[in-house]
Amino acid sequence: MATNDSKRTSNIAFLIFGICNDMATMASAISYLYDNSKSGELERLRGLEAIEDAATIALLSVLKLPVDACCLEVGAGAGSIASWLAAESGKDAHIVATDIDTNLLDSSASEVWRHDIERDELPEDAFDLIHLRHVLIHLTKSSHTRVMDALFRATKCGGFLIAEESDLRSWHVDEYTPDAMRQTFSAGVDAMIAIYSSRGIDFGLGARLADMVSNVGFETIKSSEKYRSVQGASPEAAYQEVSVRQLAETAHIDNPALVPRLCAFADCFRDRQLQYRTRTTVSVVATKRGWTKEQCR
Ligand SMILES: C[S@@+](CC[C@H](N)C(=O)[O-])C[C@H]1O[C@@H](n2cnc3c(N)ncnc32)[C@H](O)[C@@H]1O
């Protein structure tokens, strides 16, 4: 693993870049529906990592990266994947973890940038691997092409992109769940989608992800979908409950009429009688082919 000092000196320009963009970052932080500085947010993000990390690590483990690979983890959250990359890579590798709010990121494991992927620039042809998970869904739909294009330009020729997103439209409550709870659940999903939509967010992003990746020039190596059957009162249900309660707080500002529906929805996740299916994550592994910058474009 590279030392902090070597990380700092080799990327001083990147650090300056990050500091210079703090103002823009602060101005845009309100577009994110959740809040990394809230108490309980670390536990919520750790809950997400517990659900997703094994599958992400399985995808990352098979990539052949150079010993001095430069890797970028966008919207790193609590940072488990950046830490895994740092631990698994050689001492010459360089791991950068970004987020609009870096409070929860451990800077001993990787270089940390406060960076808004929707607004701030990325260095070009800089990374052998870029990974982002459940980040694009929090950006406005209108910025997706621009962000994907920036990720393409930031990837080195022969480098990899792994993008992973969810599809809220795929949530489907099981027929064995009691009728009243099914109605509460479906109304809750609709309320969630209404809030996402009012912020210009594409809640069905997972279904479009593979096309988005290839449209900017990446070549898809693998695209997989993870379906899960979730029971109330399980660890995954606990993560969803906290997420919905945070969303209910946002709804107080965005659309107060939705608050009761969201609170009732959140309660469902505590009940063992709840059973629902979801295509939680679509993962796309892609590469940037070509020998020259021109061929890569
Ligand atoms: C649902 S969390 C996912 C965290 C992590 N990627 C994971 O899967 O464990 C979304 C993360 O994206 C970050 N985020 C939201 N909007 C962002 C933006 N415009 N630029 C960079 N990060 C952003 C949030 O602060 C949060 O840490």
**100-111 pLDDT per residue, tens:** 999 999 888 899
User: Tokens 């606990």 map to which residue?
Assistant: 238
Residues sharing a CB contact under 8 Å with residue 214, sequence separation 6 or more, in sequence order: 220, 286
Residue 273, pLDDT above cutoff 90: yes
Amino acid at 77: G
> Is 47 close to ligand 1, i.e. is its CB under 6 Å away?
no
> Is 133 close to ligand 1, i.e. is its CB under 6 Å away?
yes
Instruction: Provide the b/e sequence for 210-222 (b: ≥16 CB within 10 Å).
Output: bebbeebbbeeee
Residue 26, pLDDT above cutoff 50: no
Residue nearest to atom 14 of ligand 1 (CA): 75
**CATH class, 4-167+202-228+282-296 region:** alpha beta
Query: Regarding predicted confidence, which is higher, 162 or 294?
Result: 162
Residue 10, pLDDT above cutoff 50: no
Mean pLDDT (the chain, rounded): 86
Q: What is the pLDDT of residues 241-267, one digit of tens each?
A: 999 999 999 888 889 999 999 999 999
Q: What is the pLDDT of residues 80-126, one digit of tens each?
A: 999 999 999 988 999 999 999 999 998 888 999 999 999 999 999 99
pTM of the predicted model, to two decimals?
Answer: 0.87
Check residue 13 and give its pLDDT: 36
The Cα 221–Cα 64 span in angstroms is 13
Q: Hey, which of 100, 162, 164, 282 would you mutate to test ligand 1's pocket, going by the most ligand atoms within 8 Å of its Cβ? A: 100
Classified as helix, coil or strand, 194 is helix
Question: Is 282:223 a contact under the CB 8 Å cutoff?
Answer: yes
Residue nearest to atom 10 of ligand 1 (CA): 135
Q: Hey, which of 21, 28, 31, 32 would you mutate to test ligand 1's pocket, going by the most ligand atoms within 8 Å of its Cβ? A: 32
Question: Is 60:131 a contact under the CB 8 Å cutoff?
Answer: yes
Check residue 129 and give its pLDDT: 97
